[in-house]
Structure 1
Amino acid sequence: FLIIEGEGFTYKLDSLSGLFTSLKVHDRELLDRPIDFNLWRAPTDNDVPGVDLWKLERLDHTGTRAYEVTWKTAKPADAAAGREADGSEAPEAVEISIRQSVASMSNQPVLRMNNKVTVFADGRILLDVQADKDPEYADLPRIGLRLFLSGSMKKIRYFGMGPMETYIDKHHAGHHGIFKGTAASMQEDYIRPQESGSHYDCDFVTVKGKGLCLTAASADTDPDSTFSFNASVYTQEELEEKRHNYELEPCGSTVLCIDHRMAGIGSHSCGPELLPKYRVSADTFRFSFMLKPEEI
Protein backbone atom coordinates (compact mmCIF):
# COMPACT_ATOMS: atom_id res chain seq x y z
CA PHE A 1 0.00 0.00 0.00
CA LEU A 2 0.95 3.59 -0.62
CA ILE A 3 -0.23 5.88 2.18
CA ILE A 4 -0.51 9.61 1.50
CA GLU A 5 -0.97 11.82 4.55
CA GLY A 6 -1.58 15.54 4.78
CA GLU A 7 -3.19 18.02 7.10
CA GLY A 8 -6.50 16.43 8.06
CA PHE A 9 -6.47 13.55 5.55
CA THR A 10 -5.04 10.08 5.02
CA TYR A 11 -5.46 8.22 1.72
CA LYS A 12 -4.46 4.65 1.00
CA LEU A 13 -3.71 3.34 -2.52
CA ASP A 14 -3.32 -0.38 -3.26
CA SER A 15 -0.12 -0.98 -5.23
CA LEU A 16 -1.56 -4.22 -6.70
CA SER A 17 -4.54 -2.50 -8.32
CA GLY A 18 -3.47 1.15 -8.38
CA LEU A 19 -6.81 2.06 -6.78
CA PHE A 20 -7.70 4.03 -3.68
CA THR A 21 -8.98 1.71 -0.96
CA SER A 22 -9.42 4.36 1.73
CA LEU A 23 -10.13 8.09 1.83
CA LYS A 24 -10.13 9.42 5.39
CA VAL A 25 -10.63 13.01 6.47
CA HIS A 26 -10.00 13.68 10.16
CA ASP A 27 -10.05 9.89 10.73
CA ARG A 28 -13.50 9.51 9.16
CA GLU A 29 -13.78 7.10 6.23
CA LEU A 30 -15.65 8.09 3.07
CA LEU A 31 -15.30 4.79 1.19
CA ASP A 32 -17.11 1.53 1.93
CA ARG A 33 -15.23 -0.21 -0.90
CA PRO A 34 -12.25 0.65 -3.12
CA ILE A 35 -12.77 3.03 -6.02
CA ASP A 36 -12.70 1.15 -9.33
CA PHE A 37 -13.00 1.72 -13.05
CA ASN A 38 -16.47 0.94 -14.33
CA LEU A 39 -17.41 -0.29 -17.82
CA TRP A 40 -20.76 -1.92 -17.06
CA ARG A 41 -24.34 -0.86 -16.55
CA ALA A 42 -27.47 -2.80 -15.68
CA PRO A 43 -28.90 -3.50 -19.16
CA THR A 44 -31.84 -1.38 -20.22
CA ASP A 45 -34.72 -2.78 -22.25
CA ASN A 46 -33.05 -1.28 -25.31
CA ASP A 47 -29.69 -2.87 -24.43
CA VAL A 48 -31.11 -6.40 -24.39
CA PRO A 49 -30.66 -7.17 -28.12
CA GLY A 50 -26.92 -6.50 -27.82
CA VAL A 51 -26.23 -7.54 -24.25
CA ASP A 52 -25.13 -11.07 -25.20
CA LEU A 53 -22.01 -9.66 -26.84
CA TRP A 54 -21.21 -7.58 -23.74
CA LYS A 55 -21.65 -10.73 -21.65
CA LEU A 56 -19.51 -12.80 -24.01
CA GLU A 57 -16.74 -10.24 -23.55
CA ARG A 58 -17.38 -10.34 -19.77
CA LEU A 59 -17.64 -6.59 -19.49
CA ASP A 60 -19.76 -7.22 -16.39
CA HIS A 61 -16.87 -8.95 -14.58
CA THR A 62 -13.84 -6.73 -15.04
CA GLY A 63 -11.17 -5.88 -12.51
CA THR A 64 -8.22 -3.52 -12.39
CA ARG A 65 -4.59 -4.57 -12.12
CA ALA A 66 -1.49 -2.41 -11.69
CA TYR A 67 1.79 -3.44 -13.31
CA GLU A 68 3.86 -0.53 -12.06
CA VAL A 69 3.29 2.17 -9.44
CA THR A 70 5.85 4.94 -8.92
CA TRP A 71 5.61 8.22 -7.05
CA LYS A 72 7.42 11.48 -6.49
CA THR A 73 6.86 14.84 -4.86
CA ALA A 74 6.51 17.78 -7.22
CA LYS A 75 5.18 21.27 -7.52
CA PRO A 76 1.62 21.29 -8.90
CA ALA A 77 1.75 21.63 -12.68
CA ASP A 78 -1.30 23.81 -13.17
CA ALA A 79 -1.35 27.45 -12.13
CA ALA A 80 -4.61 27.23 -10.21
CA ALA A 81 -3.39 24.35 -8.07
CA GLY A 82 0.11 25.75 -7.76
CA ARG A 83 -0.80 28.96 -5.96
CA GLU A 84 -2.29 29.72 -2.58
CA ALA A 85 -5.07 32.31 -2.22
CA ASP A 86 -2.49 34.97 -1.35
CA GLY A 87 -0.49 34.21 -4.50
CA SER A 88 2.32 32.39 -2.74
CA GLU A 89 3.65 29.11 -4.09
CA ALA A 90 1.68 26.07 -2.96
CA PRO A 91 3.26 23.17 -1.06
CA GLU A 92 4.48 20.15 -2.96
CA ALA A 93 2.03 17.58 -4.25
CA VAL A 94 2.46 13.82 -4.57
CA GLU A 95 2.39 12.53 -8.15
CA ILE A 96 1.71 8.82 -8.63
CA SER A 97 2.24 7.23 -12.05
CA ILE A 98 0.36 3.98 -12.59
CA ARG A 99 0.48 1.50 -15.46
CA GLN A 100 -2.79 -0.45 -15.29
CA SER A 101 -5.23 -2.61 -17.18
CA VAL A 102 -8.93 -3.38 -16.90
CA ALA A 103 -9.75 -6.97 -17.81
CA SER A 104 -11.90 -9.95 -16.96
CA MET A 105 -10.43 -13.27 -15.92
CA SER A 106 -8.87 -15.26 -18.81
CA ASN A 107 -9.53 -12.47 -21.35
CA GLN A 108 -7.25 -9.92 -22.93
CA PRO A 109 -7.45 -6.51 -21.22
CA VAL A 110 -10.26 -4.28 -22.39
CA LEU A 111 -8.24 -1.21 -21.44
CA ARG A 112 -4.52 -0.60 -21.07
CA MET A 113 -3.84 2.58 -19.17
CA ASN A 114 -1.05 4.94 -18.22
CA ASN A 115 -2.61 7.07 -15.51
CA LYS A 116 -1.39 9.76 -13.17
CA VAL A 117 -2.83 10.57 -9.75
CA THR A 118 -1.87 13.85 -8.10
CA VAL A 119 -2.70 14.42 -4.44
CA PHE A 120 -2.46 18.09 -3.50
CA ALA A 121 -1.61 19.47 -0.08
CA ASP A 122 -5.25 20.47 0.52
CA GLY A 123 -6.44 16.90 -0.06
CA ARG A 124 -7.72 17.24 -3.62
CA ILE A 125 -7.12 14.26 -5.90
CA LEU A 126 -6.54 14.77 -9.62
CA LEU A 127 -6.93 11.64 -11.74
CA ASP A 128 -5.57 11.86 -15.29
CA VAL A 129 -6.57 8.83 -17.38
CA GLN A 130 -4.97 7.76 -20.65
CA ALA A 131 -6.67 4.56 -21.74
CA ASP A 132 -6.40 2.55 -24.94
CA LYS A 133 -9.16 0.05 -25.69
CA ASP A 134 -8.44 -3.21 -27.47
CA PRO A 135 -10.23 -2.68 -30.82
CA GLU A 136 -11.36 -6.32 -30.79
CA TYR A 137 -13.87 -5.42 -28.07
CA ALA A 138 -17.30 -4.06 -28.91
CA ASP A 139 -18.62 -0.67 -27.91
CA LEU A 140 -18.67 -0.17 -24.15
CA PRO A 141 -21.75 0.50 -22.01
CA ARG A 142 -19.82 3.27 -20.24
CA ILE A 143 -16.35 4.29 -19.06
CA GLY A 144 -15.76 5.97 -15.74
CA LEU A 145 -15.37 5.39 -12.02
CA ARG A 146 -17.56 3.73 -9.40
CA LEU A 147 -17.37 4.76 -5.75
CA PHE A 148 -19.11 3.12 -2.82
CA LEU A 149 -19.48 6.02 -0.40
CA SER A 150 -20.60 5.84 3.21
CA GLY A 151 -24.33 5.22 3.41
CA SER A 152 -24.63 8.31 5.60
CA MET A 153 -23.74 10.44 2.56
CA LYS A 154 -27.20 10.64 1.04
CA LYS A 155 -27.59 14.24 -0.15
CA ILE A 156 -26.76 15.05 -3.78
CA ARG A 157 -26.19 18.43 -5.38
CA TYR A 158 -25.04 18.89 -8.97
CA PHE A 159 -24.83 21.28 -11.88
CA GLY A 160 -25.86 19.66 -15.13
CA MET A 161 -28.89 18.48 -17.08
CA GLY A 162 -31.90 17.76 -14.92
CA PRO A 163 -34.05 17.47 -12.97
CA MET A 164 -35.10 14.11 -14.45
CA GLU A 165 -32.68 11.49 -15.78
CA THR A 166 -30.80 12.65 -18.88
CA TYR A 167 -28.54 10.86 -21.35
CA ILE A 168 -26.60 11.91 -24.44
CA ASP A 169 -29.60 11.03 -26.64
CA LYS A 170 -32.32 11.70 -24.07
CA HIS A 171 -32.06 15.18 -22.55
CA HIS A 172 -34.26 17.62 -24.46
CA ALA A 173 -36.89 17.57 -21.70
CA GLY A 174 -34.24 18.66 -19.19
CA HIS A 175 -32.35 21.88 -18.70
CA HIS A 176 -29.08 23.03 -17.18
CA GLY A 177 -29.19 24.09 -13.57
CA ILE A 178 -28.24 23.28 -10.01
CA PHE A 179 -30.35 20.42 -8.72
CA LYS A 180 -30.62 18.63 -5.38
CA GLY A 181 -31.88 15.25 -4.31
CA THR A 182 -30.95 12.08 -2.50
CA ALA A 183 -29.38 8.86 -3.69
CA ALA A 184 -32.71 7.10 -3.18
CA SER A 185 -34.78 9.71 -5.03
CA MET A 186 -32.53 9.74 -8.11
CA GLN A 187 -33.27 6.11 -8.95
CA GLU A 188 -36.05 5.92 -11.56
CA ASP A 189 -38.73 3.46 -10.50
CA TYR A 190 -38.93 1.22 -13.56
CA ILE A 191 -40.97 -1.95 -13.07
CA ARG A 192 -38.05 -3.99 -14.40
CA PRO A 193 -34.90 -2.65 -12.72
CA GLN A 194 -32.27 -1.36 -15.12
CA GLU A 195 -29.76 1.44 -15.66
CA SER A 196 -31.45 4.74 -14.82
CA GLY A 197 -31.05 8.07 -13.11
CA SER A 198 -27.97 9.30 -14.96
CA HIS A 199 -27.44 13.03 -15.44
CA TYR A 200 -25.74 14.26 -18.59
CA ASP A 201 -23.41 17.22 -19.25
CA CYS A 202 -22.47 17.91 -15.63
CA ASP A 203 -19.78 20.26 -14.32
CA PHE A 204 -19.75 18.98 -10.74
CA VAL A 205 -21.55 16.74 -8.27
CA THR A 206 -21.38 16.87 -4.48
CA VAL A 207 -22.40 14.01 -2.20
CA LYS A 208 -22.63 14.73 1.51
CA GLY A 209 -24.09 13.68 4.83
CA LYS A 210 -23.25 13.42 8.55
CA GLY A 211 -20.41 15.91 8.17
CA LEU A 212 -18.69 14.15 5.25
CA CYS A 213 -18.56 15.48 1.70
CA LEU A 214 -17.12 14.46 -1.66
CA THR A 215 -17.11 16.75 -4.69
CA ALA A 216 -16.28 15.42 -8.16
CA ALA A 217 -15.66 17.64 -11.17
CA SER A 218 -14.23 17.37 -14.65
CA ALA A 219 -10.62 18.53 -14.73
CA ASP A 220 -10.01 18.30 -18.48
CA THR A 221 -8.15 21.20 -20.04
CA ASP A 222 -11.04 21.64 -22.48
CA PRO A 223 -13.39 24.09 -20.71
CA ASP A 224 -16.38 22.51 -22.47
CA SER A 225 -15.59 19.03 -21.15
CA THR A 226 -18.27 17.63 -18.85
CA PHE A 227 -19.29 14.24 -17.46
CA SER A 228 -22.32 12.14 -16.57
CA PHE A 229 -23.08 10.69 -13.16
CA ASN A 230 -25.65 8.72 -11.30
CA ALA A 231 -26.13 8.09 -7.60
CA SER A 232 -28.12 5.20 -6.20
CA VAL A 233 -28.68 3.05 -3.14
CA TYR A 234 -28.56 -0.02 -5.41
CA THR A 235 -25.60 -1.61 -7.15
CA GLN A 236 -25.73 -2.21 -10.89
CA GLU A 237 -25.43 -5.93 -10.09
CA GLU A 238 -28.59 -5.73 -7.95
CA LEU A 239 -30.45 -3.85 -10.67
CA GLU A 240 -29.47 -6.46 -13.22
CA GLU A 241 -30.26 -9.48 -11.06
CA LYS A 242 -33.77 -8.56 -9.86
CA ARG A 243 -36.70 -8.79 -12.24
CA HIS A 244 -39.12 -6.51 -10.37
CA ASN A 245 -38.68 -3.20 -8.61
CA TYR A 246 -40.21 -4.43 -5.35
CA GLU A 247 -37.44 -7.05 -5.05
CA LEU A 248 -34.61 -4.52 -4.89
CA GLU A 249 -32.51 -4.36 -1.73
CA PRO A 250 -30.33 -1.32 -0.91
CA CYS A 251 -26.64 -2.13 -0.57
CA GLY A 252 -26.08 0.12 2.46
CA SER A 253 -23.75 2.47 0.57
CA THR A 254 -24.31 5.45 -1.68
CA VAL A 255 -23.14 4.22 -5.08
CA LEU A 256 -21.72 7.08 -7.14
CA CYS A 257 -20.81 6.48 -10.78
CA ILE A 258 -18.85 9.23 -12.53
CA ASP A 259 -18.73 8.64 -16.26
CA HIS A 260 -16.46 10.13 -18.88
CA ARG A 261 -18.81 8.58 -21.41
CA MET A 262 -22.18 6.86 -20.97
CA ALA A 263 -23.82 5.15 -23.94
CA GLY A 264 -27.16 6.51 -25.08
CA ILE A 265 -30.48 4.78 -24.46
CA GLY A 266 -31.70 4.39 -28.04
CA SER A 267 -34.75 2.37 -29.11
CA HIS A 268 -33.26 -0.99 -30.04
CA SER A 269 -35.90 -3.05 -28.20
CA CYS A 270 -38.32 -2.23 -31.03
CA GLY A 271 -36.30 -0.16 -33.48
CA PRO A 272 -32.85 0.37 -34.97
CA GLU A 273 -29.52 0.02 -33.21
CA LEU A 274 -28.12 2.93 -31.23
CA LEU A 275 -26.71 5.57 -33.57
CA PRO A 276 -22.89 5.52 -33.75
CA LYS A 277 -22.60 9.07 -32.38
CA TYR A 278 -24.24 7.95 -29.13
CA ARG A 279 -22.02 4.90 -28.57
CA VAL A 280 -18.89 4.56 -26.45
CA SER A 281 -16.88 3.35 -29.41
CA ALA A 282 -13.52 5.15 -29.33
CA ASP A 283 -10.31 3.15 -29.09
CA THR A 284 -8.58 5.89 -27.07
CA PHE A 285 -9.90 7.76 -24.04
CA ARG A 286 -8.31 10.76 -22.36
CA PHE A 287 -10.05 12.36 -19.39
CA SER A 288 -9.44 13.89 -15.97
CA PHE A 289 -11.49 14.07 -12.78
CA MET A 290 -10.88 16.11 -9.65
CA LEU A 291 -12.10 14.62 -6.36
CA LYS A 292 -12.26 16.64 -3.15
CA PRO A 293 -13.02 14.67 0.05
CA GLU A 294 -13.67 16.86 3.07
CA GLU A 295 -15.30 17.15 6.45
CA ILE A 296 -17.94 19.86 6.69
Structure 2
Amino acid sequence: MDGNIEGIDSPNSIDYMIYANGDIVVSNSFTPSNSSSVGEIARIGMKMVVPKGYENLVYYGRGPQENYIDRKTGAKLGIYKDTVTNAFSSKYTRPQENGNKTDVRWTALTNGENGKGIMVVAADKMETSALHYRAEDINNVWKSFGHPFQVPTIEDTVLTVDYAQRGLGNASCGPGPLG
Protein backbone atom coordinates (compact mmCIF):
# COMPACT_ATOMS: atom_id res chain seq x y z
CA MET A 1 0.00 0.00 0.00
CA ASP A 2 1.37 3.37 -1.00
CA GLY A 3 0.01 6.71 0.09
CA ASN A 4 0.73 10.03 1.72
CA ILE A 5 0.58 10.80 5.42
CA GLU A 6 -2.20 13.28 6.00
CA GLY A 7 -1.19 16.76 7.08
CA ILE A 8 2.47 16.53 6.06
CA ASP A 9 2.15 15.24 2.48
CA SER A 10 4.96 12.71 2.92
CA PRO A 11 5.03 9.32 1.17
CA ASN A 12 4.46 6.18 3.20
CA SER A 13 4.65 2.62 1.91
CA ILE A 14 3.44 -0.49 3.75
CA ASP A 15 4.05 -3.98 2.36
CA TYR A 16 2.38 -7.11 3.74
CA MET A 17 3.74 -10.58 2.92
CA ILE A 18 1.32 -13.28 4.09
CA TYR A 19 2.64 -16.84 4.27
CA ALA A 20 0.80 -20.18 4.34
CA ASN A 21 2.00 -20.90 7.90
CA GLY A 22 0.18 -17.80 9.21
CA ASP A 23 3.21 -15.51 9.40
CA ILE A 24 2.66 -11.96 8.22
CA VAL A 25 5.76 -9.87 7.50
CA VAL A 26 5.11 -6.13 7.49
CA SER A 27 7.55 -3.59 6.05
CA ASN A 28 6.83 0.09 6.54
CA SER A 29 8.81 2.96 5.03
CA PHE A 30 8.32 6.69 5.50
CA THR A 31 10.18 9.51 3.78
CA PRO A 32 9.61 13.08 4.99
CA SER A 33 9.19 15.23 1.89
CA ASN A 34 9.87 18.53 3.63
CA SER A 35 11.38 18.58 7.11
CA SER A 36 9.86 21.96 7.96
CA SER A 37 6.32 20.68 7.32
CA VAL A 38 6.92 17.51 9.35
CA GLY A 39 8.21 19.16 12.53
CA GLU A 40 9.28 16.96 15.42
CA ILE A 41 8.25 13.34 15.02
CA ALA A 42 6.96 11.79 18.26
CA ARG A 43 6.97 8.20 17.03
CA ILE A 44 7.42 6.12 13.91
CA GLY A 45 5.40 2.96 13.94
CA MET A 46 2.01 1.35 13.72
CA LYS A 47 -0.98 0.97 16.01
CA MET A 48 -3.54 -1.82 15.97
CA VAL A 49 -6.59 -2.63 18.04
CA VAL A 50 -6.71 -6.22 19.31
CA PRO A 51 -10.17 -7.51 20.34
CA LYS A 52 -11.01 -7.89 24.03
CA GLY A 53 -9.84 -11.04 25.74
CA TYR A 54 -6.17 -10.83 24.79
CA GLU A 55 -5.04 -9.74 28.24
CA ASN A 56 -1.82 -11.70 28.79
CA LEU A 57 1.34 -9.86 27.77
CA VAL A 58 4.75 -11.49 27.36
CA TYR A 59 7.75 -9.78 25.81
CA TYR A 60 11.51 -9.98 25.47
CA GLY A 61 12.87 -6.50 25.98
CA ARG A 62 13.64 -4.01 28.73
CA GLY A 63 11.45 -4.10 31.80
CA PRO A 64 9.59 -4.80 33.89
CA GLN A 65 8.74 -1.10 34.33
CA GLU A 66 7.89 1.25 31.48
CA ASN A 67 10.96 2.70 29.78
CA TYR A 68 11.87 5.09 26.99
CA ILE A 69 14.95 5.77 24.88
CA ASP A 70 16.18 8.36 27.39
CA ARG A 71 15.02 6.44 30.49
CA LYS A 72 15.94 2.81 30.01
CA THR A 73 19.24 2.27 31.82
CA GLY A 74 17.54 0.87 34.94
CA ALA A 75 15.35 -1.48 32.93
CA LYS A 76 17.06 -4.81 32.43
CA LEU A 77 16.79 -6.91 29.28
CA GLY A 78 14.77 -10.07 29.87
CA ILE A 79 11.53 -11.95 29.28
CA TYR A 80 8.66 -10.37 31.20
CA LYS A 81 5.06 -11.42 31.79
CA ASP A 82 2.27 -9.05 32.77
CA THR A 83 -1.29 -8.18 31.93
CA VAL A 84 -2.50 -5.37 29.72
CA THR A 85 -4.54 -4.02 32.65
CA ASN A 86 -1.34 -3.58 34.71
CA ALA A 87 0.53 -1.82 31.89
CA PHE A 88 -1.12 1.60 32.40
CA SER A 89 0.51 3.62 35.15
CA SER A 90 -1.62 5.92 37.27
CA LYS A 91 1.38 7.22 39.21
CA TYR A 92 1.36 10.47 37.24
CA THR A 93 -0.59 13.50 38.44
CA ARG A 94 -1.91 14.03 34.94
CA PRO A 95 -2.45 11.27 32.37
CA GLN A 96 0.25 11.03 29.74
CA GLU A 97 2.02 8.64 27.40
CA ASN A 98 3.06 5.58 29.37
CA GLY A 99 3.57 1.83 29.28
CA ASN A 100 6.30 1.88 26.61
CA LYS A 101 8.98 -0.82 26.45
CA THR A 102 12.27 -0.41 24.56
CA ASP A 103 14.76 -2.79 22.95
CA VAL A 104 11.96 -5.30 22.43
CA ARG A 105 12.82 -8.31 20.25
CA TRP A 106 9.33 -9.85 20.41
CA THR A 107 6.02 -9.29 22.16
CA ALA A 108 2.93 -11.48 22.43
CA LEU A 109 -0.68 -10.95 23.50
CA THR A 110 -2.65 -14.09 24.30
CA ASN A 111 -6.06 -14.95 25.68
CA GLY A 112 -6.52 -16.81 28.95
CA GLU A 113 -8.52 -19.65 27.43
CA ASN A 114 -6.19 -21.47 25.06
CA GLY A 115 -3.09 -19.31 24.74
CA LYS A 116 -3.93 -18.17 21.23
CA GLY A 117 -3.07 -14.65 20.21
CA ILE A 118 -0.70 -12.48 18.27
CA MET A 119 3.09 -12.33 18.35
CA VAL A 120 5.13 -9.52 16.84
CA VAL A 121 8.83 -10.14 16.16
CA ALA A 122 11.27 -7.37 15.25
CA ALA A 123 13.94 -7.74 12.60
CA ASP A 124 16.23 -6.01 15.11
CA LYS A 125 14.59 -4.08 17.97
CA MET A 126 11.33 -2.20 18.42
CA GLU A 127 9.37 -0.31 21.04
CA THR A 128 5.93 -1.53 22.08
CA SER A 129 3.04 -0.86 24.42
CA ALA A 130 -0.26 -2.60 25.06
CA LEU A 131 -2.97 -0.63 26.86
CA HIS A 132 -6.72 -0.57 27.43
CA TYR A 133 -6.60 3.14 26.58
CA ARG A 134 -6.54 5.19 23.38
CA ALA A 135 -3.84 7.84 23.04
CA GLU A 136 -6.43 10.43 22.02
CA ASP A 137 -8.44 9.76 25.22
CA ILE A 138 -5.30 10.15 27.35
CA ASN A 139 -4.47 13.43 25.57
CA ASN A 140 -8.02 14.79 25.90
CA VAL A 141 -8.06 14.20 29.66
CA TRP A 142 -4.56 15.72 29.92
CA LYS A 143 -5.69 18.86 28.08
CA SER A 144 -8.58 19.31 30.50
CA PHE A 145 -6.22 19.02 33.51
CA GLY A 146 -7.80 15.69 34.40
CA HIS A 147 -6.38 12.76 36.30
CA PRO A 148 -5.47 9.21 35.21
CA PHE A 149 -8.63 7.68 36.73
CA GLN A 150 -10.67 9.90 34.38
CA VAL A 151 -9.25 8.32 31.21
CA PRO A 152 -11.92 6.00 29.77
CA THR A 153 -10.95 2.33 29.70
CA ILE A 154 -11.76 0.25 26.62
CA GLU A 155 -12.17 -3.53 26.55
CA ASP A 156 -9.99 -3.92 23.45
CA THR A 157 -6.20 -3.59 23.58
CA VAL A 158 -4.34 -0.86 21.72
CA LEU A 159 -1.02 -2.41 20.66
CA THR A 160 1.66 -0.06 19.37
CA VAL A 161 4.66 -1.36 17.46
CA ASP A 162 7.20 1.39 16.88
CA TYR A 163 10.55 1.63 15.17
CA ALA A 164 11.24 4.42 17.63
CA GLN A 165 9.51 6.84 19.94
CA ARG A 166 10.84 10.19 21.03
CA GLY A 167 12.26 10.30 24.54
CA LEU A 168 10.52 11.97 27.46
CA GLY A 169 13.12 14.59 28.30
CA ASN A 170 12.89 16.99 31.20
CA ALA A 171 11.82 20.20 29.49
CA SER A 172 10.11 21.49 32.63
CA CYS A 173 13.49 22.43 34.05
CA GLY A 174 16.11 21.09 31.68
CA PRO A 175 16.90 19.69 28.25
CA GLY A 176 14.38 18.34 25.79
CA PRO A 177 14.08 14.66 24.94
CA LEU A 178 16.72 12.47 23.37
CA GLY A 179 16.09 10.40 20.28
Give the TM-score, by structure 1 length: 0.55
**Aligned equivalent of 2:83, options 175, 182, 205:** 182
**Aligned equivalent of 1:261, options 145, 156, 164:** 164
Give the C-alpha shift of residue 118 in structure 1: 0.4
SS at match of 1:148: strand
Partner of residue 235, structure 1: 134
Partner of residue 12, structure 2: 113
Partner of residue 96, structure 2: 194
4+ runs deviating over 4 angstroms? none
Q: Cα–Cα, structure 1 residues 124 and 170, in superposed 2: closer, same or farther, change >3 Å?
A: same
Q: How does 1:16-55 map to 2 (within 5 A)?
A: none
**Aligned equivalent of 2:118, options 208, 214, 217:** 214
Gaps of 5+ in 1: 1-97, 220-224, 279-296
SS at match of 2:177: coil
Give the C-alpha shift of residue 115 in structure 1: 3.0
Structure-2 separation of matches of 1:142 and 1:114: 16
Q: Is the 8 A contact 2:70 2:177 kept in 1?
A: no
SS at match of 1:216: strand
Give the C-alpha shift of residue 184 in structure 1: 1.1
**Given residue 144 of structure 1, which amino acid in structure 2 is its aligned partner?**
G
Give the C-alpha shift of residue 273 in structure 1: 2.2
Structure-1 separation of matches of 2:161 and 2:13: 19
Q: How does 1:98-137 map to 2 (within 5 A)?
A: 98-103=1-6, 107-109=7-9, 111-134=10-33, 135-136=35-36, 137=38
Deviation readout 1:218-264 (Å, 9 max, x if unpaired)? 13xxxxx2000011111111111111112122122111111111100
**Given residue 162 of structure 1, which amino acid in structure 2 is its aligned partner?**
G
Give the C-alpha shift of residue 108 in structure 1: 3.9
Structure-1 separation of matches of 2:23 and 2:3: 22
Partner of residue 177, structure 2: 274
Deviation readout 1:21-80 (Å, 9 max, x if unpaired)? xxxxxxxxxxxxxxxxxxxxxxxxxxxxxxxxxxxxxxxxxxxxxxxxxxxxxxxxxxxx
**Aligned equivalent of 2:63, options 162, 171, 174:** 162
**Given residue 215 of structure 1, which amino acid in structure 2 is its aligned partner?**
M
Give the TM-score, by structure 2 length: 0.90
Give the C-alpha shift of residue 100 in structure 1: 1.9
Partner of residue 51, structure 2: 150
Higher-helix-fraction structure: 2
Give the C-alpha shift of residue 183 in structure 1: 0.8
Give the C-alpha shift of residue 272 in structure 1: 2.1
User: Aligned residue pairs: how many?
Assistant: 170
**Given residue 238 of structure 1, which amino acid in structure 2 is its aligned partner?**
D
| Structure whose alpha-carbon radius of gyration is higher | 1
Structure-1 separation of matches of 2:28 and 2:4: 12
Q: Cα–Cα, structure 1 residues 115 and 150, in superposed 2: closer, same or farther, change >3 Å?
A: closer
Q: Cα–Cα, structure 1 residues 248 and 130, in superposed 2: closer, same or farther, change >3 Å?
A: closer
**Given residue 205 of structure 1, which amino acid in structure 2 is its aligned partner?**
T
Structure-2 separation of matches of 1:188 and 1:246: 10
SS at match of 2:85: coil
SS at match of 2:62: strand
- Higher RCO (CA-CA < 8 Å; seq separation 6+): 2
